[in-house]
Structure 1
Amino acid sequence: MKLQRSYLADFVSLLFPELCAACRESLVANEYLICTDCHYNLPYTNFHLQSDNIVARQFWGKINTTAAFALFYFTKGGKIQNLMHQFKYNGMQQIGNLLGSIAAGQLAKTEVFNTVDFIIPVPLHTKRLKQRGYNQSACFAYGLAPKLNAVVEENNLIRAKATLTQTHKSRFARFENMQDVFEIKNPEKLKNKHILLVDDVITTGSTLEACGQQLLKIEGLKLSIATIAYAE
């Protein structure tokens, strides 16, 4: 019976091959979402080894961050763009969980990220959440949490106002677009805690900065940041 199921699975895979979400080549046995070649050769940043990395420097003089990190470099037309497209627009939310687990494997090796209490995903407005069906940043957060021994706090930081897309806006326009957008429902729960704020891709950092400004109003809060990718 097991042999028959194996033959059936092989036959189905010939007709409808599963493709790597990054390179779009066929996956082989025991590969999941991302092929082995991509898993080892995607453009990792290794920012967990650099306290003054590019992402951290984006927030200098703007908000006080304890640490900042991005897993990959993002370039237009590259494999990470393919991966993020499948994740955000083709319903493959399991990609976020996988990338969170990969990122956590790196972050767990650093002392600073091992002190995180809560992981907070950048929230979507309720209208956007209803359209997409899931928050991609939350998927990433839930992938991070187990290896960091942290708790995902998904509904405390909320997006109170819908905003226009940030695409093609200047840095200043992006910053202006994000003013007074976010609110915190239960600040007492976050007092004196180390918060890891997470998002999918960081470009100018204006969304994360706006979230961070609200979080840092809370007494004793320490803020770190992690994203899936950094857009060069």
Structure 2
Amino acid sequence: MLKSIINLFFPKVCYTCKQPLTDHEQYVCTDCRHHLPVTNFHKHNANFVRNLFYGRANIINGTALLRFEKKGSVQQLIHELKYRDHQDIGLFLGHWLGEELSTIDAYKAIDLVIPVPLHKKKFKRRGYNQVTKFGQQIAKALKADYNENLLIKITNTSSQVNKKRFARWNNNNELFSLVNKEKIENKHILLVDDLITTGATIEACMQVLNSANNVNISIATMAIA
């Protein structure tokens, strides 16, 4: 009864269509979830993500849960997550992708999940890393460790939101650093992020992670453009 009263005055709405959710729905309504553009890369062993990094970085496996389209529902979800503090979207997407990856042998070998980090100034301004809960949920599903203190960002680049694709591609001055390198040696790492556009940020992270001995790296993101 209390829950019904709260919902009456403060109804929970779908993050995409903004319509009220039913008692059995969370974060996204059934209709919107049904129409989210899933990639199914990991289900069909598609190599689209791996091919994106061909000649740039060596990855074991790579996937993205959703396809990102300008002014689409996925953009709306990521915007709500990054700029309106709706971190439960990270929980929702992480649980979804984590459950799917946990059924695939190729991802059962993951030892450690690491998120692409924010620069400390951006973290202080936003108050959270939008990838944290996403990564934590995936790590939980894979029974892997999660650590966001090993990879740090040491340059504070400007936001990518309003940049054209070519400008993002050329924004290759992002620098990262690795702390306690020995903690990732001989491990299979899953590097997680919110969105792949050109892949430049993930490539920069991988270059640093590969400085450790005998490291295998796979990639999982919320979406890909």
**Structure 2 length as normaliser, TM-score?**
0.93
Deviates more, 1:43-52 or 1:128-137: 43-52
**Structure 2 unaligned spans of 5+:** none
Partner of 1:179: 173
**Residue in structure 2 matching 1:70, options 64, 67, 85:** 64
In the alignment, the residues of structure 2 paired with residue 49 and residue 19 of structure 1 have an alpha-carbon distance, to the nearest angstrom, of 30
Contact 1:120 1:195 in 2 (8 A): yes
Cα deviation, residue 175, structure 1: 5.1
Is the aligned partner of 1:130 residue 2:124? yes
**Residue in structure 2 matching 1:120, options 104, 108, 114:** 114
Equivalent position SS for 2:173: coil
**Residue in structure 2 matching 1:24, options 11, 18, 21:** 18
**Residue in structure 1 matching 2:27, options 10, 25, 33:** 33
In the alignment, the residues of structure 1 paired with residue 44 and residue 200 of structure 2 have an alpha-carbon distance, to the nearest angstrom, of 22
Partner of 1:15: 9
Equivalent position SS for 2:108: helix
**Structure 1 unaligned spans of 5+:** 1-5
**Structure 1 length as normaliser, TM-score?**
0.90
Contact 2:174 2:201 in 1 (8 A): no
**Partner letter of residue 29 of structure 1?**
D
May I ask how many residue pairs the two structures share in their alignment?
224
Q: How large is the Cα RMSD of the aligned pairs?
A: 1.6
**Partner letter of residue 136 of structure 2?**
Y
Equivalent position SS for 1:142: helix
Contact 1:23 1:82 in 2 (8 A): no
**Which structure has the highest helix share of the two?**
1
Which digits, 9 at most, give the CA deviation of each residue in 1:139-189, with x for residues without a partner? 210111111011111110000111122342554x54553436100011101
In the alignment, the residues of structure 2 paired with residue 157 and residue 85 of structure 1 have an alpha-carbon distance, to the nearest angstrom, of 24
**Partner letter of residue 39 of structure 2?**
T
Q: Rate the CA distance shift 1:91–1:170 in 2: closer, same or farther, 3 A.
A: closer
Contact 1:192 1:219 in 2 (8 A): yes
Q: Rate the CA distance shift 1:166–1:77 in 2: closer, same or farther, 3 A.
A: closer
Which digits, 9 at most, give the CA deviation of each residue in 1:104-152, with x for residues without a partner? 1111121111100000000000010011111011121011111101111
Contact 1:194 1:221 in 2 (8 A): yes
Contact 1:120 1:154 in 2 (8 A): yes
Is the aligned partner of 1:108 residue 2:95? no
Is the aligned partner of 1:60 residue 2:54? yes
Equivalent position SS for 1:128: helix
Partner of 1:93: 87
